[in-house]
C-alpha cells in the first residue's frame, strides 16, 4: 500500500519534498523560457563543444534543460533560493514515467473519448490536474520510446517533462494531484494497447502483466488487448481533426500508421495515400509537403525516434 507524499504549498519546499522522495526535478521559469546553457553547451556559442546532453560533463548544473534534473538537495535549495517562484519540472523518462497528457484546450477531451473507444478505459493510476484544466495520467515507463502524439490534444510524454504541483501557470492556476492532493508514485505499467504496434507484438507473454491489460475483445473487427484497428477513414479523420499547430504531426502520425497497416495488408496503401493527401489539402498542408511527409513515413515507424 503506497502512502501519498504530502506536497508543501510553497514551490521551494515542494521541490525539496519531491527530491527527498527520489524524484529528479529542475527549475522551469514561469514563462517557460529555459535557463541558459553555459557557452560550451550552447550550440549558438563559438565555444560550443559538440556533445549529447545526456553525456554532458561541463559541470554547470543548469545546462540542457531537463537533463539538469537532480535529487541533490543542496543544489535544489540553491536553485529555489535564487528563484523562489520557479516552477517544478520533472523529466518523465528519467523518473521512470510515461505520461498521458490530455489538454482540453486542443481537443483533448474528444480525442480521449475516441481513444477509450478504441482501446478501452485506461487503467487507473496517479493523476494530476493541470493548471490549464487538463489531466496527466502517470504510468511506469516502458523500455522503448513512445509516439509523442495520441491524437489532437493528447500527448504521450516520455522523452519530455511535466510540471509538478504546486507549479502555477500565467493566470495563477496551480497544478494539483488528484484525490487528496498527495503524490503517489505510479506503479501501473504503461497500457500495452498504447504501445507502438511493433513493440506490442514483441512483448514476451511473461512481461504482459494480466492485471493491467484490457479485457479481451472478440467481437468482429476487434483485436485482443488492442481495440479496433485503424481504418483509412480513421486515419483521414485523425488528420481532419488535427489542431492548427499540430497538423504536420497529425499528418505524419497518420502516414506512419498507414504504412504500418499496409505492410500488414490490413489496408491498401494507395487508398490510404489518396485519402490522406486529400485530407492534408483540406486542412491546409501543401501538396508537396504532404507528399514528402507521406514518403518519409514509409521507413519503418517503430525504428524512428519519436519526439514527445
**To which residue does cell 516502458 refer?**
142
Q: Which of 38, 178, 184, 269 binds Zn ion (CB under 5 A)?
A: 38
Cα angle 58, 60, 66 (rounded to 5 degrees) comes to 100
User: Cβ contacts of residue 295 below 8 Å, gap of 6+?
Assistant: none
Least distance in angstroms from the C-beta of 84 to Zn ion: 24
Which CB atom, from 38 or from 110, has the smaller least distance to Zn ion? Answer: 38
- Judged by CB under 5 A, the stretch of 40-48, 209-217, 262-270, 271-279 that binds Zn ion is 40-48
Which CB atom, from 60 or from 203, has the smaller least distance to Zn ion? Answer: 60
Terminal C-alpha separation, the chain? 31
208 near Zn ion, judged by CB under 5 A: no
Q: How many residues bind Zn ion (CB under 5 A)?
A: 6
For 123, counting Cβ atoms within 10 Å of its Cβ (0-12 exposed, 13-18 middle, 19+ buried), the class is: middle
- Judged by CB under 5 A, the stretch of 50-58, 78-86, 152-160, 194-202 that binds Zn ion is 50-58
Least distance in angstroms from the C-beta of 43 to Zn ion: 10
63 near Zn ion, judged by CB under 5 A: yes
Q: Residue 210 — φ and ψ, nearest 5°? A: -55, -30
Which CB atom, from 38 or from 240, has the smaller least distance to Zn ion? Answer: 38
Q: Which of 7, 41, 99, 250 binds Zn ion (CB under 5 A)?
A: 41
48 near Zn ion, judged by CB under 5 A: no
60 near Zn ion, judged by CB under 5 A: yes
Least distance in angstroms from the C-beta of 38 to Zn ion: 4
CB of 192 closer than 8 Å to CB of 200: yes
Q: Which of 11, 17, 28, 56 binds Zn ion (CB under 5 A)?
A: 56
Which residues lie near Zn ion (CB under 5 A)?
38, 41, 56, 58, 60, 63
Amino acid at each position: 500500500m503506497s502512502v501519498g507524499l504530502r506536497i508543501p504549498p510553497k514551490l521551494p519546499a515542494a521541490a525539496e519534498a519531491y527530491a527527498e522522495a527520489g524524484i529528479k526535478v529542475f527549475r522551469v521559469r514561469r514563462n517557460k523560457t529555459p535557463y541558459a546553457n553555459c557557452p560550451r553547451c550552447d550550440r549558438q556559442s563559438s565555444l560550443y563543444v559538440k556533445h549529447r546532453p545526456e553525456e554532458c560533463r561541463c559541470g554547470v548544473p543548469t545546462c540542457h534543460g531537463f537533463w539538469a534534473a537532480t535529487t541533490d538537495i543542496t543544489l535544489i535549495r540553491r536553485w529555489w533560493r535564487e528563484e523562489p517562484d520557479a516552477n517544478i519540472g520533472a523529466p518523465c523518462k528519467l523518473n521512470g514515467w510515461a505520461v498521458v497528457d490530455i489538454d482540453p484546450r486542443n481537443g483533448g477531451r474528444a480525442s480521449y473519448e475516441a481513444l477509450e473507444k478504441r482501446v478501452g478505459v485506461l487503467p487507473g493510476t496517479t493523476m494530476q490536474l493541470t493548471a490549464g484544466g487538463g489531466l496527466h495520467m502517470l504510468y511506469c515507463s516502458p523500455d522503448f520510446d513512445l509516439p509523442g502524439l495520441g491524437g489532437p490534444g493528447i500527448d504521450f510524454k516520455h522523452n519530455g517533462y511535466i510540471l509538478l504541483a504546486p507549479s502555477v501557470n500565467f493566470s495563477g492556476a496551480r497544478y494539483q494531484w488528484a484525490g487528496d492532493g498527495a503524490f503517489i508514485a505510479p506503479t501501473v505499467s504503461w497500457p500495452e494497447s498504447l504501445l507502438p504496434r511493433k513493440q506490442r507484438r514483441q512483448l514476451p507473454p511473461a512481461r504482459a502483466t494480466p492485471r493491467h491489460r484490457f479485457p479481451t475483445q472478440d467481437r468482429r473487427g476487434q483485436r485482443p488487448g488492442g481495440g479496433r484497428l485503424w481504418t483509412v477513414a480513421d486515419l483521414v479523420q485523425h488528420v481532419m481533426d488535427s489542431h492548427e499547430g499540430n497538423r504536420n504531426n497529425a499528418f505524419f502520425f497518420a502516414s506512419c500508421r498507414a504504412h504500418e497497416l499496409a505492410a500488414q495488408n490490413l489496408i491498401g496503401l494507395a487508398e490510404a495515400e489518396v485519402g490522406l493527401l486529400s485530407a492534408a489539402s483540406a486542412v491546409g498542408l501543401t501538396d508537396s509537403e504532404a507528399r514528402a511527409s507521406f514518403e518519409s513515413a514509409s521507413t519503418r515507424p517503430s525504428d524512428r525516434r519519436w519526439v514527445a
